[in-house]
Amino acid sequence: MLIIVLISAVGGFLLLRAIPALQRNRENFFTYGGSWVTTNTSAMHFGIAEMLQVTVLVSVFALLLAMPVALGVAIYLAEYAPRRLVGLLGYLVELLAAVPSIIYGAWGLYVLAPQLRGSALWLNEHLGGFFLFADGNASVAGGGTIFTGGIVLAVMILPIITAVTREVLAQTPRGQVEAALALGATRWEVVKMVMLPFGRSGYISAAMLGLGRALGETVALLIILRSTQKAFNWSLFDGGSTFATKIAATASEFNDQYKAGAYIAAGLVLFVLTLIVNALARVAITQKVQS
């Protein structure tokens, strides 16, 4: 089967191309967090520690924003929406996924960030003692921060979480819903006692699919996040690079197999990361659907 060959080929070729560069790396690939020095190809310095941190922070932040909204939308469409509007509203939420990520990026930096400036400054000023809102290495007022990026990313992963959660909620046995109603449950109680326990695992898998999408998102974050040389401190007002933006931003350096290899090694880590997250989510969903 072509597909199976394909997916192993992706991993295989990335590994093949990464190994020569990794052999010339003078740092520990997994723990080195400083800036990448790839100009001298016989003694390169590169590692993924900081990219991993930025990627995780921005993805988890986006996930935390998107999860409650997605659950609300899924419940609304499953139980509350007027029958005639369900199709239209569902279509509109799916349209969110049809907007190209570069447009989200441009919108996030040039339209959304100026609007967020007030609340970002407020958070930074009043809650600055808390590490998430502390002064970061990017300008809070400039908007090229993980804060802005995470919000945009949340919008982008909302449709996928919503779609999968809806699918699972829709499989709630109608009999159980009607039984609850017959016992005098209010609409909310039906949702809380019948639909949510039934759909919980599906919802969690949906969130993991969203996380997978967030980890690999490239262009929106590439436009929004300010790259910086200063160290990352787990603040939402940090800039920095995720795996994907680092690779994309330095694509012009891809003129030498060792230089490119360094970035391909980072891409391989990203591939493995998303593979694990997606595989876990898919296994959980498949089991849910079959049981």
Per CB under 8 A, contacts with other proteins among 67-126 are: 68-73, 75-77, 79-81, 89, 92-93, 95-107, 109-112
Among 239, 244, 262, 288, binds other proteins (CB under 8 A): 244
Which residue type is seen at 191?
A: V
- Distance, in Å, from the CA atom of 228 to the CA atom of 138, rounded to the nearest integer, reads 7
Closest CA to 99 of 157, 144, 146, 166: 157
- Amino acid present at 111: V
- Told to check if 10 binds other proteins by CB under 8 A, we report yes
Pairwise CA distance, residues 261 & 254, whole Å: 9
Distance CA 44, CA 39 (A): 7
Task: List the structure tokens of 199.
Answer: 């759909």
Burial class (CB in 10 A: 0-12, 13-18, 19+), 111: exposed
**62 in contact with other proteins (CB under 8 A):** no
HSE-CB of 84 using CA atoms within 13 angstroms:
0
Amino acid sitting at position 43: A
Which residue from 63, 206, 236, 270 is in contact with other proteins, where contact means CB under 8 A? 270
Shortest distance, position 134 Cβ to other proteins, whole Å: 27
Nearer to other proteins, 15 or 49 (CB): 15
Counting contacts by CB under 8 A, is residue 217 touching other proteins?
A: yes
Q: Does 155 bind other proteins (CB under 8 A)?
A: yes
How many Cα atoms occupy the beta-carbon half-sphere of 198 within 13 Å? 21
Per CB under 8 A, does 277 bind other proteins? yes
- Distance from C-alpha of 30 to C-alpha of 243, rounded to nearest angstrom: 13
The yes or no reply on residue 138 touching other proteins (CB under 8 A) is no
One symbol per residue from 19 to 58: x for binding other proteins (CB under 8 A), - otherwise; what is it? ----------------------------------------
Structural element, H or E, at residue 137: none
Nearer to other proteins, 180 or 235 (CB): 180
Q: Does 225 bind other proteins (CB under 8 A)?
A: no
215 is an interface residue for other proteins by CB under 8 A: yes
Contacts of 275 (CB under 8 A, 6+ apart): 11
Q: Report the nearest approach of other proteins to the CB of residue 272 (Å).
A: 10
Q: Which of residues 90 and 235 has its CB atom nearest to other proteins in the complex?
A: 90
4 binds other proteins (CB under 8 A): yes
Q: Which is nearer to other proteins, 187 or 230 (CB)?
A: 187
Q: What's the min distance (Å) between Cβ of 81 and other proteins?
A: 7
Q: Which stretch binds other proteins (CB under 8 A): 9-17, 32-40, 128-136, 167-175?
A: 9-17
Binding piece for other proteins, criterion CB under 8 A, among 36-44, 128-136, 170-178, 278-286: 278-286
Q: Give the residue with the Cβ less far from other proteins, 17 or 288.
A: 17
Q: Nearest 10 degrees: CA dihedral of 232, 237, 241, 244?
A: 130
Q: Which of 198, 200, 73 is nearest to 190 (CA)?
A: 198
Instruction: For the segment 186-205, give every residue that binds other proteins (CB under 8 A).
Output: 186-189, 191-192
Residue 44, classed as helix, strand or coil, is strand
